[in-house]
Amino acid sequence: MRRATRTPFGSFTQVSVCPTCNGTGQMIEDKCDVCGGSGQKQEAKKLKITIPAGVDNGTRLRVSSEGDTGQRGGPPGDLYVYLFVNEDAEFQRDGINILSKIKLSYLQAILGDRIEVETVEGPAEVTIAPGTQPNTTITLENRGVPRLGNPVSRGDHLITIAIDIPTKISAEEKELLEKLAKIRGDHLSKVGGLFGGLFRG
Protein backbone atom coordinates (compact mmCIF):
# COMPACT_ATOMS: atom_id res chain seq x y z
CA MET A 1 0.00 0.00 0.00
CA ARG A 2 1.21 3.47 -0.86
CA ARG A 3 -0.02 6.42 1.19
CA ALA A 4 0.81 10.06 0.40
CA THR A 5 0.69 12.76 3.05
CA ARG A 6 0.92 16.50 2.43
CA THR A 7 2.71 18.60 5.06
CA PRO A 8 4.03 22.20 5.16
CA PHE A 9 7.42 20.70 4.40
CA GLY A 10 6.31 18.84 1.31
CA SER A 11 4.65 15.59 0.28
CA PHE A 12 5.69 12.35 2.00
CA THR A 13 4.94 8.91 0.63
CA GLN A 14 4.71 5.94 2.97
CA VAL A 15 4.78 2.34 1.67
CA SER A 16 3.51 -0.51 3.86
CA VAL A 17 2.23 -4.07 3.52
CA CYS A 18 -1.48 -4.46 2.90
CA PRO A 19 -3.07 -5.38 6.26
CA THR A 20 -5.62 -7.62 4.54
CA CYS A 21 -3.37 -9.89 2.46
CA ASN A 22 -0.01 -9.22 4.19
CA GLY A 23 1.62 -8.58 0.84
CA THR A 24 0.61 -11.88 -0.76
CA GLY A 25 -1.78 -10.28 -3.25
CA GLN A 26 -4.48 -12.76 -2.27
CA MET A 27 -7.33 -12.61 0.21
CA ILE A 28 -8.82 -15.74 1.77
CA GLU A 29 -12.51 -15.39 2.50
CA ASP A 30 -13.22 -18.82 4.01
CA LYS A 31 -10.34 -19.29 6.46
CA CYS A 32 -9.34 -22.74 7.67
CA ASP A 33 -10.26 -23.39 11.31
CA VAL A 34 -6.85 -25.01 11.98
CA CYS A 35 -4.42 -22.52 10.44
CA GLY A 36 -6.61 -19.40 10.23
CA GLY A 37 -5.73 -18.99 6.57
CA SER A 38 -1.98 -18.83 7.14
CA GLY A 39 -1.33 -22.20 5.50
CA GLN A 40 0.70 -23.30 8.51
CA LYS A 41 -0.15 -25.36 11.57
CA GLN A 42 1.96 -25.28 14.72
CA GLU A 43 2.57 -28.62 16.37
CA ALA A 44 5.05 -30.22 18.78
CA LYS A 45 7.55 -32.74 17.49
CA LYS A 46 9.96 -35.09 19.24
CA LEU A 47 13.51 -35.05 17.90
CA LYS A 48 16.50 -37.27 18.58
CA ILE A 49 19.68 -35.20 18.52
CA THR A 50 23.33 -36.20 18.88
CA ILE A 51 25.23 -34.61 21.77
CA PRO A 52 28.91 -34.25 20.81
CA ALA A 53 31.66 -35.09 23.32
CA GLY A 54 32.95 -32.15 25.35
CA VAL A 55 29.80 -30.04 25.70
CA ASP A 56 29.42 -27.86 28.79
CA ASN A 57 26.82 -25.65 30.43
CA GLY A 58 25.47 -23.12 27.93
CA THR A 59 26.64 -25.00 24.83
CA ARG A 60 24.30 -24.20 21.93
CA LEU A 61 23.56 -26.86 19.33
CA ARG A 62 22.03 -26.02 15.96
CA VAL A 63 19.63 -28.56 14.46
CA SER A 64 19.33 -27.68 10.79
CA SER A 65 15.87 -27.25 9.19
CA GLU A 66 13.95 -28.12 12.38
CA GLY A 67 12.71 -24.60 13.16
CA ASP A 68 9.54 -22.83 12.00
CA THR A 69 8.27 -23.34 8.47
CA GLY A 70 9.46 -20.74 5.98
CA GLN A 71 7.08 -17.99 4.88
CA ARG A 72 5.52 -18.20 1.41
CA GLY A 73 7.09 -21.55 0.60
CA GLY A 74 10.54 -20.58 1.87
CA PRO A 75 12.89 -23.07 3.58
CA PRO A 76 12.34 -23.88 7.27
CA GLY A 77 14.47 -22.26 9.93
CA ASP A 78 16.84 -23.96 12.37
CA LEU A 79 16.27 -25.17 15.93
CA TYR A 80 18.75 -24.08 18.61
CA VAL A 81 19.14 -26.27 21.71
CA TYR A 82 20.85 -24.93 24.84
CA LEU A 83 22.45 -27.57 27.08
CA PHE A 84 22.69 -27.67 30.87
CA VAL A 85 25.04 -30.26 32.40
CA ASN A 86 24.25 -31.85 35.77
CA GLU A 87 26.99 -31.95 38.40
CA ASP A 88 28.51 -35.29 39.43
CA ALA A 89 29.04 -36.40 43.03
CA GLU A 90 32.47 -37.89 42.28
CA PHE A 91 33.94 -35.81 39.47
CA GLN A 92 34.30 -32.06 39.04
CA ARG A 93 35.11 -30.30 35.81
CA ASP A 94 37.67 -27.55 35.27
CA GLY A 95 37.57 -26.63 31.59
CA ILE A 96 38.62 -29.79 29.80
CA ASN A 97 40.20 -31.31 32.93
CA ILE A 98 38.45 -33.67 35.35
CA LEU A 99 39.12 -33.34 39.10
CA SER A 100 38.54 -35.99 41.77
CA LYS A 101 39.83 -37.00 45.21
CA ILE A 102 40.89 -40.31 46.72
CA LYS A 103 41.61 -41.18 50.32
CA LEU A 104 44.61 -43.37 51.27
CA SER A 105 45.54 -44.94 54.57
CA TYR A 106 48.68 -43.49 56.15
CA LEU A 107 50.42 -46.83 55.51
CA GLN A 108 49.62 -46.70 51.78
CA ALA A 109 51.01 -43.17 51.70
CA ILE A 110 54.20 -44.19 53.53
CA LEU A 111 54.88 -47.52 51.81
CA GLY A 112 53.35 -46.86 48.38
CA ASP A 113 50.75 -48.98 46.62
CA ARG A 114 48.99 -49.76 43.35
CA ILE A 115 45.29 -48.92 43.55
CA GLU A 116 42.28 -48.77 41.27
CA VAL A 117 40.59 -45.39 40.78
CA GLU A 118 37.42 -44.43 38.95
CA THR A 119 37.63 -42.29 35.83
CA VAL A 120 34.92 -41.09 33.45
CA GLU A 121 35.75 -44.09 31.26
CA GLY A 122 35.81 -46.69 34.04
CA PRO A 123 38.42 -48.04 36.48
CA ALA A 124 42.13 -47.33 35.97
CA GLU A 125 45.16 -48.47 37.97
CA VAL A 126 47.53 -45.85 39.41
CA THR A 127 50.79 -46.14 41.32
CA ILE A 128 51.12 -44.43 44.69
CA ALA A 129 54.77 -43.57 45.27
CA PRO A 130 56.25 -44.31 48.74
CA GLY A 131 56.20 -41.20 50.92
CA THR A 132 53.23 -39.59 49.15
CA GLN A 133 52.21 -36.40 50.96
CA PRO A 134 48.67 -35.08 51.59
CA ASN A 135 47.24 -32.98 48.73
CA THR A 136 49.62 -34.53 46.20
CA THR A 137 48.11 -34.48 42.72
CA ILE A 138 48.35 -37.48 40.41
CA THR A 139 47.82 -36.72 36.71
CA LEU A 140 46.22 -39.22 34.35
CA GLU A 141 47.00 -37.75 30.94
CA ASN A 142 44.31 -37.71 28.23
CA ARG A 143 41.66 -39.02 30.65
CA GLY A 144 39.74 -35.74 30.87
CA VAL A 145 37.07 -34.10 28.69
CA PRO A 146 37.40 -34.18 24.88
CA ARG A 147 37.86 -30.73 23.40
CA LEU A 148 34.58 -29.67 21.75
CA GLY A 149 34.98 -29.89 17.99
CA ASN A 150 38.26 -31.82 18.30
CA PRO A 151 37.59 -35.07 20.22
CA VAL A 152 41.15 -36.30 19.55
CA SER A 153 42.44 -33.61 21.93
CA ARG A 154 41.55 -34.27 25.57
CA GLY A 155 42.23 -32.81 28.98
CA ASP A 156 43.71 -34.65 31.95
CA HIS A 157 42.23 -36.30 35.04
CA LEU A 158 43.77 -34.73 38.16
CA ILE A 159 43.47 -36.80 41.35
CA THR A 160 44.12 -35.14 44.71
CA ILE A 161 45.39 -37.41 47.51
CA ALA A 162 43.93 -37.22 51.03
CA ILE A 163 45.53 -39.21 53.88
CA ASP A 164 43.20 -41.01 56.29
CA ILE A 165 44.62 -40.76 59.83
CA PRO A 166 42.82 -43.22 62.15
CA THR A 167 41.03 -41.84 65.18
CA LYS A 168 41.42 -45.16 67.09
CA ILE A 169 44.15 -47.83 67.01
CA SER A 170 44.52 -51.23 68.66
CA ALA A 171 47.05 -52.05 71.38
CA GLU A 172 49.14 -53.98 68.86
CA GLU A 173 49.15 -51.07 66.42
CA LYS A 174 50.11 -48.71 69.26
CA GLU A 175 53.04 -50.92 70.21
CA LEU A 176 54.30 -51.15 66.64
CA LEU A 177 53.97 -47.40 66.11
CA GLU A 178 55.87 -46.67 69.33
CA LYS A 179 58.66 -48.99 68.13
CA LEU A 180 58.72 -47.15 64.82
CA ALA A 181 58.90 -43.81 66.66
CA LYS A 182 61.95 -45.09 68.62
CA ILE A 183 63.65 -46.30 65.41
CA ARG A 184 63.11 -42.88 63.85
CA GLY A 185 64.35 -41.13 66.98
CA ASP A 186 61.05 -39.34 67.62
CA HIS A 187 60.70 -38.48 71.34
CA LEU A 188 57.05 -38.74 72.37
CA SER A 189 55.59 -37.19 75.50
CA LYS A 190 54.28 -39.83 77.92
CA VAL A 191 51.36 -37.57 78.92
CA GLY A 192 48.87 -38.98 76.45
CA GLY A 193 51.68 -39.29 73.92
CA LEU A 194 51.23 -39.05 70.19
CA PHE A 195 48.95 -42.09 70.31
CA GLY A 196 47.29 -41.56 73.70
CA GLY A 197 44.02 -40.28 72.24
CA LEU A 198 44.06 -42.99 69.56
CA PHE A 199 44.38 -45.97 71.84
CA ARG A 200 41.66 -48.62 71.56
CA GLY A 201 41.82 -51.50 74.08
Give me the pLDDT at residue 70, please: 77
Give the H or E element holding residue 176: helix 171-184
- Phi, psi angle pair for 194, to nearest 5°: -60, -30
Phi, psi of 3 (to 5 degrees): -130, 125
Q: State the pLDDT at residue 201.
A: 47
**pLDDT lower than 50: segments of the chain:** 191, 193, 201
Return the pLDDT at 82. Answer: 94
DSSP 20-59: TTTTSS---SS--TTTTTSS----------PPPTT--TT-
Residue 159: what pLDDT? Answer: 98
Task: Please give the DSSP secondary-structure letter assigned to residue 142.
Answer: T
CA–CA separation, 137 vs 158, rounded Å? 6
Domain range summary for the chain, segments of one domain joined by +: 52-86, 92-164, 169-200
**Strands (DSSP E) found in the chain:** 2-7, 10-15, 60-63, 79-82, 92-94, 97-105, 113-119, 122-128, 137-140, 146-147, 150-154, 157-164, 169-170, 199-200
The CATH number of domain 92-164 is 3.30.420.40: no
> DSSP character for 172?
H
